[in-house]
Structure 1
Amino acid sequence: MSALIQRALLIGLMLSLSLTAGAAELKPFSLAGIADSEMSRVVSDVQGRLDRGGFEILGTYRPYDGAHIFAVTSDRLKSVARQSNYGGFGAVIKVAVTEVANQQGGKQIQVSYNNPEYIGLAYNMDSRLSRVKRSLGQAIGFDRDFGGDGIDEEKLPGYNYTFGLEDFYGFFDFVDHGSHAQAVRAVERGLATNNFGIGQVYKLKVPGKQQVVYGLSLQANVEKQKFLNDKYVMEVIDHQQPRRTAHLPYEIMVNGSKVIALHPHFRLAVMFPDLRMFGEHSFGKLMDLPYVYEEFFTQAVGGEWPPGGDDW
């Protein structure tokens, strides 16, 4: 091998290492702060700060005692969402106020939210949403990011938990209603009238696109269908501090005439990338959850189950 070729290979290796070293490790959640105060007082304060910070509150959700979630968007979020094929999934940031026990046996309040930089890359929005993160930090505070050891920003757009599982594009494709208007009507009718415990927390129409995203409340009787109960699911997976309450609510989206959702193998894993496959708190405890979501979400949005009728 000539000295010139050796030198070229060495330069290429050094450039590759420098680029790798410069990649950031991102985490799915941001902690705004921890308060020793009353839950209601912190909720009211956060709401006021979000309003003054220019964020639009689309809906609120109290999935269980000690948890209050604001679903918010902004002009910047909607603008970025418009520019990517499935941007609606990342157009809403969840801000959570969570009451937990402190080490002294009392109560403390955690305020946290989805890390916009993480969402922008993981949801293939072609943006780190850094301006959104700065705006949220200015509005309600920023202490640190959390949620595992972090994922290389260059790997986030193609993230999957392990080989063979779905990535961002491995959507559930529930039903095609033939037109966008019919799909929207069917979803809203189904969420209002189904008897599965599936409701609507918020709705956002992405400007300039035939794309509407809905946040779901899952409040089924846990003895009848535990995987359609947000409290049960979070008791399994959300066991570390700070809490990751802003994982909720789960989303579905009308995209054109179709109703789709992120697959739980991606959606849960990308928010809990450090969760083990098996054990007391693990994905193994939720092994049947994707199949339950597919079956009952399909019916709730006006689709047929089983698919294709009795021959499925």
Structure 2
Amino acid sequence: MMRFMQRMILLMLLGCFWQSAVMAVELQGFILAERSHNSYGRVNEAVLEKLKKNGFQVLGSYSPQAGVNIFVVTNRELKRVAAKSEYGGFGAVIKVSVARVTLEDGRKEVQVAYNNPEYMALAYWLDGRLSATRARLKKALGAVEDFGGPVDEDSLPDYNYTIGMEGFSGFFELASYGSYKEAVKSVETNLAKDRFGISQIFRLDIPGKKQTLFGLGMKANVEEHRFINDEYVMEIIDHQQPRRIPHLPYEILVIDNRVIGMHPHFRIAISFPDLHMFGEHGFGRMIQLPYDYEEFIIRAIGAQWPPDDDW
């Protein structure tokens, strides 16, 4: 009888484990649309045309290095869901990359990839899953596979890389102004000066909200400010295939009279949750990066440095 009971308990425990394993859904942050052997220029043109034909508004494009281009797009669903969410501006755009890539075996290809809208919706606390946007991107560009470090669906809204590191809401408080209008004007005017290699890639005003999202290109001289250079940082973190180039560009959000940005500990980790802490491709090589982001973005948008309160 005792042996029978032990077996029953074991079976029940195994059943619970199996059920939880089945119920756990893992999502990945990126979708590979295509591997092409056409020329980079031809693929780039085709992607732009497909996006426009399928209802996407192209807000801007960014080339952080030779052979790489990133289209920043939005659509009705993205803007509608963003307008219903507290910090929705951060999730109001999708980045679509076209990249000339050399594989480990020496073969060359052009990869087209984009952010997984459903992953982003959960990570950025959006009031909607963006399923229609995912379907429209698949129709427009294709969907070969999801890729990137997997994260449990239930864990995404509270995700942080490890204990002590910031989550989504651990924002940089970059600046504050007398009004929303003043904040937007100051940010845009100062970004146009391209100080420290930081420039405006796009701007999106969220309908019906006092929120404006700005995308930043970072091309500082590596000898002077290496972490304010997207190409340099991506060489550290983006070392696996397929390339996760839609991680770029970094964004800042004007919300009412404040200017905020996601902390790099979160912003990098949500795109690279499988990044090691140490080693050639690890967080340990970028200890200075959050400090540099805070200082030079604040200075680039014309705000006070140092701020009254350090983070």
- Partner Cα distance (2:44, 2:165) in 1: 37
2:197 maps to 197
1:297 partner amino acid:
I
User: What's the CA shift for 1:16?
Assistant: 9.5
Deviations 1:162-202 (A, max 9, x none): 00110000000111112000000110111011421100111
TM-score normalised by length of structure 1: 0.92
2:128 partner amino acid:
S
1:189 partner amino acid:
T
- Partner Cα distance (1:98, 1:302) in 2: 33
1:276 maps to 276
- Partner Cα distance (1:212, 1:18) in 2: 43
What number of residue pairs does the alignment pair up?
301
1:166 partner amino acid:
E
1:255 maps to 255
1:157 partner amino acid:
P
2:297 maps to 297
2:269 partner amino acid:
A
- Partner Cα distance (2:28, 2:89) in 1: 21
2:124 maps to 123
1:34 maps to 35
- Partner Cα distance (2:86, 2:155) in 1: 19
Distance 1:129 1:285, change over 3 A: same
In the alignment, is the contact (CA less than 8 A) between 1:82 and 1:209 conserved in 2? yes
Gaps of 5+ in 1: 1-9
- Partner Cα distance (1:100, 1:256) in 2: 41
Deviations 1:68-112 (A, max 9, x none): 100000000000001110010010100000111145534200000
- Partner Cα distance (1:193, 1:287) in 2: 28
Matches within 5 A, 1:202-281: 202-281=202-281
State the percentage of identical aligned residues.
Answer: 52
- Partner Cα distance (1:166, 1:273) in 2: 13
SS in 2 for 1:174: strand
Gaps of 5+ in 2: 1-10
User: What's the CA shift for 1:17?
Assistant: 7.1
TM-score normalised by length of structure 2: 0.92
- Partner Cα distance (2:219, 2:296) in 1: 13
SS in 2 for 1:111: strand
SS in 2 for 1:98: strand
1:4 maps to none
- Partner Cα distance (2:254, 2:234) in 1: 26
